[in-house]
Amino acid sequence: MNIPLFAEPVIRIGSFDLTNATLNALVLMVVLVITAFFLRKKMSIRPSRFQVAVETLLDTLFGYFDQVTGSRGRSKKFLPLVGTLFIFILLSNWMGLLPGIGSFGVWQVHEGVKEFIPLFRPAMSDVNLTLAMAIVSVVTSHILGIMAVGFFVHWNRFIQLGTIWKAIQSLKPMNIVTAFVEFIVGLIELVSELAKMLSLSLRLFGNIFAGEVLITVISSIFAYLLPLPFMGLEMIVGIVQAAVFSMLTLAYLTVLTNPIESHDAQEEHAHA
């Protein structure tokens, strides 16, 4: 039994190969867009029971978001991105558990051996997609950080040339030493921004791919009843991984959009 690490191409369009993981993601995106369109049409001043339930859910989510952001305004600003990531990751994980997902496919000849390639594969089991989502998450946090505090103030978190210049102007040796230490720490923080992308993508990919391998192995041993508890476990894992990815994204957005306190303000607080 061969479970490839990378998504397999199932459709060739010119020189472009459409993989089964990408096809899964495209189908889910189309379904989500159509569903959102019809739900938007049904919104009214006199809410239905469904609309009341959705509004109650949103109000609950805003309560959790406010605990992280500390501001309802920022919670409203971050909800579209964070909420979309959560829904997309969750439903993508659950789509892989639907009956027949791995049963439909195409036969291809690879190195002289005829292999069955499933038409659909859980989108999050493709490291390319999880890495792309992690890049979007981190880059968006920097863009919103620049918009919130300004370009130079934002990048001074990492490349603290302004802090060194102020320390040199003060002609105080201790301030200069402290400024150079903070400059080195800032460079380490810049490297950690790249590490965020790797940790976000590999954590999500590893958990979902491991679950796919587990379900495949258990199903090959006994296809009836035995896989059900493991599928239930994978549903829980899907919720947890979607929550972890989205909440970490929310934390990154919150940290980088917080105003930076100047050294003068810090000294005033210290004296107080």
Handedness of CA 176, 182, 187, 188 (dihedral sign): positive
Token pair of 170, please? 């003060």
The candidate with the shortest Cα–Cα distance to 125, out of 8, 44, 46, is: 8
Average pLDDT rounded to a whole number, residues 22-47: 85
Examine the pLDDT at 269 and tell me if it is beyond 80: no
For all residues of the chain together, what is the average pLDDT?
81
Q: What gap in Å lies between CA 147 and CA 166, rounded to an integer? A: 24
pLDDT, residue 261, reads 60
pLDDT at 253: 92
- Condensed to tens digits (0 to 9), the pLDDT of residues 59-92 reads 888 888 888 888 888 888 898 899 889 999 998 8
Our CA angle for 49, 52, 54, nearest 5°, is 110
